[in-house]
Structure 1
Amino acid sequence: MTVMALSCVYMAADVYLVCLQHALSTEKEEVMGLLIGEIDSKKVAHISAVVMLRRSDKRKDRVEISPEQLTNAAIQADKLTHELGRTMRVLGWYHSHPHITVWPSHVDVRTQAIYQMMDEGFVGIIISVFSEDKVSKEQQVQITCFQSTNQSPEGESPQYIRLEVPLHIQPTSCLSKPCLQSMVELPEILFQEEKDSYDATTKLTFLSILAQLNNKAVLTQALCHITEVVSGPLVMALEQRKANNQKRCRELLQERESLLTLKSTM
């Protein structure tokens, strides 16, 4: 019988919102990020922050995390440890599956196994986006949480399979500062990815003038897409959240005045 390193995973709702926003930012390639949180004595993982990663090599069906990115995420976790007063660590990764099933591929399962060799509590999360329900024809979002386990007998070549871990989205009353910062960073990450791709073409000496103009047009189109799909909706969502917070603040001030008036008459 396989012994699970984790009993379940709790992901804060604002962290899920950030991961979903990242997954929905592109339907052409997979995106990825690292999850920060803590694991308690009952083997329950609590995810409370996320680090979005910039892709150095865009691929339709593959994502890779460099050692430098893991190191930077660990530094971020250490910073959160001091800010929150709780021991934070990098405890997982997430990536998107645009237009395909939510279940991890054999590459995902093998990658997950490699991370677990370094940390048995490391967990993987996949978000499937831009998929259509066969009955209702509506867009649907699916999410799964998993680890890898070796089903081969000892001494034989490892054969890793997916081991599903129960995932719970934990409601949050507000958008935390780390999550807000991640959301704001997303347009910049996407811009830098496009800029890196364009800069790589400028180093090619054999391109014609028409090819150079085409590359500039592609960059402009990509930046317009980022503005339309990511930056615009993000600004609107934050403005709406600000309006709601201001309304709630006024209501609380009115309630405070009412209580003070009531107290003075007693």
Structure 2
Amino acid sequence: MVPEKYLQKVILSSDVYAICIQHALTTEKQEIMGLLIGEIDEVKCISNISACMILHRSDKQPDRVEISPEQLCGASMHAEQLASELKRPMRVVGWYHSHPHITVWPSHVDIRTQATYQMMDSLFVGLIFSVYQNDPRVRSNQVQLTCFQAYQEPGGSELERREVPLIIENTPLHLYNLEGIANLPKILIQEEVESHSVKDSETKDPIARLHNEAFKTLALGHIVSKVSRPMCDDLVERLNATKLRIKELETIKQDLLSQRS
């Protein structure tokens, strides 16, 4: 019998980390979720995560998230497209979700969900981002991250979490991840529109419809002011920093060329 393999290490690119954090901070009332894409070293059991896919939530819940088979299929197709573009093997290697206002540790539901994914791929990994955790000592919010797999002792009946060492690798912002960031406000807007469409279909009262429409407008305005605008400001700052770095490198290049001559 071949023993089950477990991950020994996860390498997470800094741009995927930034996308996940940005996604997690979009709401402090419900959990968000997404899928992680990358490469697996089957021999060393190391997962290298270099892309992600933000998932649309059809059902918003404060304490759980679910990934449908259709979403998994869509993420697999996205991974295949990336593999073709990048000329290297890419596949869905894990999932992530948020824990707003609660600890970073996976719940029993999270561990059972993780165990289900590991039945399909023993090296599948889960990431949890804990956000909006108040620390009264420093009067600030904390962001915590855990990387885990499900584990069951031989002969045991209870599933447990197994923490996996995580390294965040400094990488440039790739175009495919930039597109993922740009799609985040679109996905949030789509979720809000669908949510209010359901409410409108359930009521015939014109006052209630007007009330729902006002709340939808408020929610969409919140997405623009709290997500889209800061995101654009951040990308502009990234661009300015990149231009400044290019200018510094050009100066260094000219100095080196002048020394050669």
Which residue is 1:101 aligned to?
103
Which residue is 1:160 aligned to?
159
Percent sequence identity is 49
Give the letter aligned to residue 161 of structure 1.
E
Structure-1 separation of matches of 2:133 and 2:90: 34
Contact 2:106 2:128 (C-alpha < 8 Å) held by counterparts: yes
5 Å-filtered alignment, 1:185-224, equals 185-204=183-202, 206-224=203-221
Normalised to the residue count of structure 1, the TM-score between the two structures is: 0.92
CA-CA distance at 1:224 after TM superposition: 1.1
CA-CA distance at 1:26 after TM superposition: 0.5
Contact 2:4 2:122 (C-alpha < 8 Å) held by counterparts: no
Structure-1 separation of matches of 2:242 and 2:166: 29
Deviation readout 1:126-179 (Å, 9 max, x if unpaired): 00000012422321110001111123727xxx421111111111112x211121
5 Å-filtered alignment, 1:42-191, equals 42-151=44-153, 153=155, 158-172=157-171, 174-191=172-189
Normalised to the residue count of structure 2, the TM-score between the two structures is: 0.93
What SS class does the counterpart of residue 245 from structure 1 fall into? helix
| Structure 1 gap segments, 5+ residues each | none
Structure-2 separation of matches of 1:181 and 1:248: 23
Structure-2 separation of matches of 1:13 and 1:100: 24
Superposed CA RMSD in Å reads 1.7
Deviation readout 1:7-31 (Å, 9 max, x if unpaired): 0111011110000000001101000
| Structure 2 gap segments, 5+ residues each | none
Contact 2:5 2:122 (C-alpha < 8 Å) held by counterparts: no
Structure 1 position 234 matched with structure 2 position 231: yes
Contact 1:152 1:159 (C-alpha < 8 Å) held by counterparts: no
Count of equivalent residues: 258
